[in-house]
Structure 1
Amino acid sequence: MMDNDIEVNEIDAWNALKTNSIISENLESKLFLDKGDPLRILYLSEINTSDRFDIDLTRCQLDSNWGIYKAANIEEVFDLVCQTNISLILVKQASSSEEWLNKVASIGTQLDIPILAVVDREDEAIAIAAFDIGAYDYITLEELRDSKILQRTIRHGIACHRWKMQNDRLQQIDAKDQNKRKKAETDLRESEEYFHILSEYVPIGIFQADLLGKQIYTNTYLKNLCLTDTKTGLSQNWTESLHPEDRTYLQNIGILESEENLGQNWIEHVHPDDREEVVRSYQNFIQGIGSFHLEFRFIRSQADIRWVVGQVIPLINSNGETTGFVGSITDITERKQAEEKLKQLNIELECRVFDRISELQKLNLELRIGNKIREFHEAERQKTERELHIAKDRLQAVLDAVPGCVAWVSADLSYLGMNQLMAQTFQLDIRDFMGETVGFNKSKAKDYVDFAKRCFAGSEDNISEELEFEFDEGNKKHYLLIGQKYAQGRSAVFVAIEITERKRAEVETQRALEKVEELSELKSRFIFMVSHEFRTPLTSIFSASELLEHYGQKWPPEKILQYLKQIQESVRRMNGLLEDVLIIGAGEVGKLKIKPTEIDIVQFCQQLIEETQLSKQNHHAFNFTHDTRVQRVVIDSKLLRHILSNLLSNAAKYSPVQKPIDLNLRVDSRQITLEVVDLGIGIPQEDQKYLFDLFHRATNVGTIGGTGIGLSIVKKSVDALGGIISFKSEVNSGSKFTVSIPIDQVNEEYQW
């Protein structure tokens, strides 16, 4: 805004600029333009300018430190304006086309930049043409040569343009403020009119009071409510019943001045019994204590007492300040009457309810007596059911304790019940049997069904049989089935007692008897064998010793030595037989001691081959091969001797002299493997399964001597060492025995 002591407009600014440079500078400073402001001047000319004009512009640029930009067409003007903050456009006016002049005229309007026209001379037509293109002024070429005039003209033009823009904005702001004020006044007036219309036509008494509580407005409804019948009007000294402080308060706020403004003395019409509470609550509310919302009686006349509800709320402006109070008095007489009527109806209803309750109590007493009787019968019934249930549980417990499957069945073979063992035997639950017939699980109970049918079909009351049931593949059990009919044959109890163990005991007893017979036979065979085997060497010894006794002095030493060797061979044979008997005796008492020692396994085998050749006095060829990663092993050499010596002895005994015998030895870090191969008479197929039995000899041995205990000793010794023995044999093709003994698994004590 301009200062009040200087009124500035475009004409005053221009005249000041023309007459006095000091005034011009004062106006420029008032119009927001300082000398130091950097100005950017855009020069626009449709034709080329003279050198003289360029010199004038250059001098202005040097004197004022302005920025001078040139444009030859309108497009360049817009480009420069977008790139640079142009302060003024200087237009060289010549005899240009009308189209070009119209384009120039639109520049100032579109870009909001002041335009100064440069003309050749001072002329009215030229001046009009300059203003037509939107220039605020013009300057001649002669004046242009004076840089000070040019500078003042440009600066003044820019200052006036800025003032004009500021003035337009202020005018727009003033216009907006006036519109807002007018709208606010209109809104206030409409609001007041609406309030008065609303308050005049609503069936509620409305009043307005200032901050002291003095009433400043009362609507027509409240005034009419306060009208009294003169004949039965209220007492004029109604204030005498008020407390002195309350009376003073009402006088201060003007409520007692009822003659001047009817309706402002509405408190006069409050019932005497309610008046003090109403006045006190109103006073406290005006003073900011509590709220005012009361129901009280309102007296219009002696015969017309109305119930009303009074309510007062504060009036708060836009700044949150309380400016007064507005209240209402609403007639609720009809509601009170309805409540009173409702209360009377409630009393009547309570009386009727009381009568009804009396009747219901009587009926309830009768019902309770009937319930007691029913409860007694129900208790008796429940007691009977409990006793029956207990009896049933007791019977079930007894049946569950029976060491057998129990089920009772009707004549049509329907299940009536069973014990737990019966259900468990068939891997079912008791409930799965209820309602089913015997044999519903056909895969397991076919024989049971046949037994039940025979029981009901027979004339006897009870039957019993022993049956075998296969519940699962390979799981067979023996049962003793007992059937007992009752209820004139309409039902029956079936008991199945498992006798599998008894049957197994019978089988084992039978086997034991057979074993005793077998042992008796073995004993007889053993006695026969010992007697036979000992008789021959003893006879030989006796004969040789008797001959030596009678003829020893006559025989040459060679013949005496022959008979002595015969005695020694017989003794050796008896010693071997006794050793075998001792091993069998150890087996009989139940234990065979293992005593591992370290031996050279290759040397051990070679020594046994030599002993076999010497003891049998045969000329068999023994082929011994060995593949030993470990040559010294820890093993019970005595048991190993029994194994290998018996195998080699049998191979030599049952093989022709011209047939070789092979002994193959393999030893690694884990086990010893021995193979004895012969090309003898072989073992018949029917004897192979009894080959390792004590005293058993193959049927094809003929007259070849033997005791039948050698291979039995081999088997027991291999088992004692934790090994495995196997063989392959064909009659007249020979036999191959293979023994594998683990080196690190030697049983310290082996029980046969």
Structure 2
Amino acid sequence: MTAYTDSLEKPIYTIAKCLNEIIVNNDLNDALQKIVDWLANSLDIDCCYISEDGNKAANLAIFSSERMAENLGDSNNSILHINDFPEILDILHNNLCYKVSRNNRVSQKLHEWLRASNVRSLLLMPVFRGTRFWGCIGFGDAKNNRTWHSSEIQLQSLASAIGSAIESKRIKQEIQQSNEVINTTLSTLNEIIWEVDLVNETTKIAGSSIFIESLKRRSLSNNFIDWVLTSTHEDDKERVSQKFKQFFEEKDASVNEDVFRIYNEKTGEYFWMHSRYHLKRNIYGDPVFLTGTSVDISDTKEVEHEFSRQREQYQFLVQSLGQVVFTLNKNATLSFASPAWKEILGYKPEQSIGKAFIEYLHDEHVQLFWEEFGSLLAGRKTNIDLRMQLVNAANENVWVRILAKTTFDYNNTIDGVFGTIENINSSYNDSLFLQDSNERINTILNNSKEIILTLNLEKNIIASVNDAVGILGYKPEEWIDKSYKSWNDEQRQQFHELMRLAVQSELQVKNQQITFTNKTNTERIPFEFSTSIFYFKNSRYLLCVLRDVRERLKYEENISLISTQLTHLLNNIDDVYAIFNIKTGKYDFVSDNIENLYHCDKQLYFNNTRFWLERIHKEDLPGVEKEVEQIILNKSKGEIFYRIQTSTGERKMVLEKLVVGKDNNGDADKLYIVKSDYTNIENAEQSLMETERKFRFISENLSDFISIHDVDWNFTYASPSIKNILGYEPGEVLGMGGFDLVHPDDLLKTLNDCVQPIVLYKKETQFRYRMLSKDDTFKWVETYAKPVIDSKGEISSIISSTRDVTDQVTSENKLRESEEQYRLLSENSNDIIGIHNLQTEFLYISPSCKQILGYEPSELMGKRPQDIYSSSDASALSVTEPAKAIEEKKERKFLSNIITKSGEEKVLEVWLKPLFKADVLVGLQSASRDVTEREKLLSELENSLAKERELNELREKFVSTASHQFRTPLTVIQSGVEIMDMYLEDLPEAKQAKFQNQFKKIQEEVSRLENLMNDVLVLGRANAVRTPYNPEERSLVDFCTAIIDNKYNASYLPERQILLSITGVEVPVSFDEKLVSHAIENIISNAYKYSSEGNIYLDLIYEPNRVIINIKDTGVGIPEEDIKNLFQPFYRATNTSEIDGTGLGLSIVKEFIEIHGGEIFLNSKLNKGTTVSVILPIA
């Protein structure tokens, strides 16, 4: 070998020698030791070592010279354990060399090591395995302070090369060991691994010796793929061949697998083989290598067949169950659901699989589900039984019972949940209803003031009794389970007798009087006693109800006294009071002052029911009899003016007021009569009659018909000219509603044009509409109406003048129809346009007949419409309508139900127009439009409008009834109480207090009912869309200030004032003064009503597009559960039962604010107060 003397060549040669040693020497540790020896000699250094993983300083090879050995007893001391020096590790980890000598300034610890190790200079080279730090090579010189410049580059290359070489060597050793393990493992399995070189057509096979033996004979000597295809079972060969061909042709295909039967030459039988294979391609995309594995799965196939059979049985069972069988994975995602899933929730199973189960859970049960599901996955529970609600496809809640348990994978690890879902909606709702019913019954029993007693007749004991037994001084437990036969008290003998009667007869005992002595024997208490027999669980029970009637008896005594006083009062006032029994035809009561009015004996009037009729002026008698008959027939009320002549010959004017009373079945029962002497105003009546005669003379000689209506718009007078316009005699419309004759299509507009100006603003108005004439045709009329105002500023009647404008409207309509026909011909090319001769035969028809009727134009030429349309309705109209158009020489428009060529039913809207030539009728022009869909929609719309009209009529009837049926009785009651209060002055003061308290209660209740009726009427108008809305721009600040100063702050103490604050820049706001005033005053009234102390705060907050009105009090507040319902009519908060109110105020406020396009909401805390916020838009 050539000797190297050059300082660079020798290390390079040594490095090459080291690399070669690593490659050729199979013993890595031996090779490393040689390397450190060679490196030390070539570099003339005193120590060298190779250390793997600097953090551990595990030295793989060490060299130390004799010089170091002389100075150090142990050569290992010369090795630097770099894990003790973090600053060195940081440098090496950054792939940098570390050089140091004693002359350098280093840490005290490193300097001590250099001196102790007899090292003057040190070089550490990092070794990386790829990008990961592997270890280092250390070089030390004990003689000189080397700079290492001349050999640093070579050594760094060596370090990199050694790291890669060592790693490669080690990997090859590990691969060799792994291959040995794999071959050993494969030899014990029924599996082979094979590789086919598609270029050289060679095959390598490794694996089970038994399996390989049957394959090697041909597969090693022939093309492997051809052998597979020739050895495959005939039933599988075409499929396998096609799959191989497709796999090789697809450029992107790389992995595939298949199962097929293949022939075993050794056994002479076919066996099932499962093959997985991978195709490798060159850079041109051509197949190069095919590698894969094959497994004998004959045994598995038999198991699979048995499993498939059992699975079919299981699926049949799952399909047949009425319950849902389901599985969830660990994320609670639905992975399987049986068909019953659709029956319960309305979703197909495939729609839900893959979705989270909680998507179908009611929100209230999501947390419970997660808790229980988590317990299953965590192993705290093995199964669960839950009852919860699911939400079905119709967004309805369904109660179900869920039974579930955990499932496990092959490693016995929980991998999900399996279970069933049963629909228990009906039974669960029934149980909830039963539970709620029991709770309600218990609540009723415990809060009842009646003693409710249940006796077990089989055991002769008291089964139950409610808390009301405390009336007698007992507690329920003193009676329950005690024998009622042990009661020997004399006062209970009657109870036993009644009970014995009820038990023996098994009939109900109702409202029997019985007296009980209380526990202390200090009071005898009267009861009303009722019983009923019932059976439960083969036992017979007696239910007894004892009602304390002390207060009722006392009340009846007071009523008797008041009735006596009221009779006395009625007999001593000017007006005559009488009660006539309609069913018996006799008077039940007549006040004594009848003698003053008729100058006759009271008994004469009482016994002769026609006495009063015989005293009526003969001119007035027919009208009076008819009016009374009508009032009784309508079960209503009314007033009648008539003249009478008394027994002494004196003439008087009488105002008689009548009200019909009804029995429990709603039939007319009593007629309540009040007669007043109006003789003193007879002269005024005469004057009025003269004025009326003049009015009638004028109205009867006008072509327009004049009518007078009451405040409910009923006809009270109609001039004779109504017959010329509508065909009615004047008497035929008297009592008829003014809007009953209005065309339904014009009714809403007429109400808006007429009622609002007159009723709300008391102004005259003029409007046009259609009225129904006596011959059932509608005529266009124009009406001018004006309200008549009485001395109190109220409307007493409405007078109107109506003119026939039918001809004018007809001319206007004809002009519009002509314009429509012109547009029809010029714009609607989809319509069927036809020209007919006088025999209605088609001379021309547009091509659109093909689209609508299904006929080509040539098929219809020369034919008549009745020859084409198979519908009998269409055929008839095709004859009659053209005949009318020809006879009248006028246009005709009609709808025709036809059947097309294909048998489809359609509706055509047909226009017919006469065609003239030199004023001679020569034919007809027709235009037919397909309106099938439109007529269908119109039919649906007409049904909806009919229902809406019915609801509006019911609402208006209720409002009218509320106005007239409630106010008069309330007024009579109020007047009666006031009169009785006047007569109390004749009684001693000791007795007056008792009656005054009772009268005060009656007056308060009457006032409350009047307020309720006012609210109902306002709400009725709002709901009927009759509330007027007349906004004007004004200052909201001035408006609120006026309300506060004029109506509240002047009336309340200083500590109960309304404090106004303003935020933002004030701008004018457009609002209806009446509606907003009503709303704000209602809210302020509530604030005072529901707070006993403290000021009320009204804040106005101006924002860019709105103004907020906040009204705050410090009162009782509103329970949170009541807030959402407060704007519903008649709803009151549960904590306000002791405070008067109707429950209508906020509902009306909401209606008025929403008319403005505004909003209202409130915030409240119980016992801390309420803030109501109203938002109005700013234009």
What TM-score, normalized by structure 2, do the two folds share?
0.18
Between the two structures, name the one with larger relative contact order (CA 8 Å, sep ≥ 6): 1
Please say which structure displays the higher CA radius of gyration: 1
Structure number having the greater helix percentage:
1
What TM-score, normalized by structure 1, do the two folds share?
0.27
